[in-house]
Amino acid sequence: VLICQESLEVAKRQFYDLVLIDTAGRLHIDEELMDELKAINDTVHPHHVLLVADAMTGQDAVNQALGFNSRLDLTGIILTKMDGDARGGAALSMREMVGKPILFCGVGEKPEALEPFYPDRLASRILGMGDVLSLIEKAEHAYEQKEVERLERIAKKNQFSLEDFQAQLQQIKKMGSLGELLDLVPGARKLTQKTDLGQAERELKRVEAIINSMTLEERRNPAILNGSRRRRIAQGSGTTVTDVNRLIKQFLEMKKMMQRFSKFGARNLFSRMPNLFQ
């Protein structure tokens, strides 16, 4: 309690706009720790009291929220692990039983995986209808307009290189895992039920390893990749020459399609898109 009080005083003296007090994890049935939490609340008088709950625990998360709310009068809830199979149930039960809004949800371990909670979007995901708005927001966050314009220019000039391809893979990774992204695409899960997403993720890592084993000149001009260079790249990336050859072939096909896309539009591109994971 004293540490929290002193922190608040320091924040006031240094004109901080926000003070975040993160208390140690505790169970609602632990009376001693709950009394400590109540004392902190009564001392610092926070504007918001948020409970961080694990969505995977189902009904236990609801009981936890009820217990904390009876002692602290919560102003909101943050649900973590919403990317798990049990997502949805805890959110609906908490809102109904506790009567407090769910403000944020965690769908991963990185800071950017903490997202505002939109109940209509969650309902759409549960019903398998995807979440296009969230997908667009992720794409806008990952890609700057200048980068999009640059890619369009190099596609038209047929200058797309393995270096550009690697950069795009890294941007896609920022948006989340393949499973998370597929959850946002309407109907995508049904189409990929027989697809091993774990294997697809491993294949992406293999592709990155191969490109990382190339020199800058090789990434910018794959035409110089003769047999000895490909053997060196395979050894450096822990893959085989066959893997390297397959990547180069797929990249060249993609490069051709990007040029078609710049001329004829998206329909032409997607009708000829190769499968990178075969």
SS (H, E, C) 44-60: HCCCCCEEEEEHHHCHH
The predicted structure's pLDDT at residue 177: 67
Q: Are residues 168 and 193 in the same domain?
A: yes
Residue among 117, 26, 25, 29 nearest 70 (CA): 29
In this structure, are residues 81 and 66 in contact, taking their beta carbons and an 8 Å threshold?
no
Rounded CA Rg of the chain? 25
pLDDT digits (tens, 9 = 90+) for 244-278: 998 898 888 877 776 666 555 444 444 444 444 44
The predicted structure's pLDDT at residue 128: 58
Task: Report if residue 134 sits inside a domain.
Answer: no
The predicted structure's pLDDT at residue 238: 92
- State which residues of the chain have pLDDT below 70: 28, 83-90, 123-152, 154-158, 175-198, 258-278
Share of the chain above pLDDT 90, in %: 13
The predicted structure's pLDDT at residue 181: 67
Q: Quick count: other Cβ atoms within 10 Å of Cβ 138? A: 20
Task: Report if residue 74 sits inside a domain.
Answer: yes
Task: Supply the CATH number for residue 197's domain.
Answer: 1.10.260.30
Q: Is the pTM of this model over 0.95?
A: no
Task: Supply the CATH number for residue 110's domain.
Answer: 3.40.50.300
The predicted structure's pLDDT at residue 31: 78
Strand 102-106 with 76-80, pairing: parallel
Range of the domain at 59: 2-127
Tokens of 43: 């001392």
Q: Are residues 166 and 122 in the same domain?
A: no
pLDDT digits (tens, 9 = 90+) for 84-113: 654 566 677 777 788 888 888 887 777 777
